Amino acid sequence: MAKSIGRPAAPGEASGAAAGCGRLSRRGFLTAPAAAAAGGLLGGLFAGAACADALTRDQRDKMTPEDILALMKRGNERFRKGDEPKRDYLAEQKASAKGQYPAAVLLSCVDSRAPAEVIMDLGLGDVFNCRVAGNVANEDIFGSMEFACKVAGAKVVLVMGHTACGAVKGAIDDVELGNLTGLLAKIRPAVKATAFEGERSSKNLAFVDAVARKNVELTMALILEKSGVLRDLASKRAIKVAGALYNLESAAVDFFA
Ligand SMILES: [Zn+2]
């Protein structure tokens, strides 16, 4: 099967023509509506077969950015329902050791409770992941994303913030601490740009989360502003820059679009 962000379909997971691996590498990949629409090729690969252990170039290249985002959404649904099939990491490691064909590059926070691969049921080789407090971007992040998309073929750039983010709270509170001061300065424009009725303090989690969302939006815009390489790919619809906010309480990843 294709990979999925993938492995074998879980009991009760989508059945029917497109059933199979729902993960990116295997299973998510196959069950995506667009993947199903792709028809014969994917169906042939998956029909009656065990899921592949890692995304192949062919599988990745057949997916659109929208397919990939749909698989990530399904992966998060599996995570929060607790119905993820057991993942064979060693099989994924062996399958991906000689090459990688990740479908996306993520920019997410270092928060220990928000590992993108876990909360979206992703496997080895499925995505690149840049992690930095407050999911802020700089030249090194832009360069990593350009490598991921232009050189390695990833089709989605996903900026993912999360609720109750400590870095966002620090930016709101104007915290100063060593090198953290400069990092928080990158979030401060989002604090200023957040329209909010009510108490604008780090004690008000509604405000904190509104700033986190704005921070993702501004970072998405910054990526397209500062990277001509990614802007060009996006204008050709070869990639899609997307945003999301992970809710620590509900375990749901809220995709902006
Ligand atoms: Zn955070």
pLDDT band at 11 (very low <50, low <70, confident <90, very high): very low
Distance 50 CA to ligand 1 centre (A): 37
pLDDT band at 23 (very low <50, low <70, confident <90, very high): confident
Distance 166 CA to ligand 1 centre (A): 5
- Determine the pLDDT at residue 27: 46
pLDDT above 90 as % of the chain: 77
Whole-prediction pTM: 0.84
Distance 221 CA to ligand 1 centre (A): 19
Question: What six digits make up the tokens of 73?
Answer: 């959404």
Distance 191 CA to ligand 1 centre (A): 15
pLDDT band at 143 (very low <50, low <70, confident <90, very high): very high
Distance 69 CA to ligand 1 centre (A): 22
Distance 208 CA to ligand 1 centre (A): 11
Q: Which residues surround ligand 1, an ion (CB under 5 A)?
A: 109, 111, 165, 167
Distance 73 CA to ligand 1 centre (A): 20
Is the pLDDT confidence value at 107 over 60?
yes
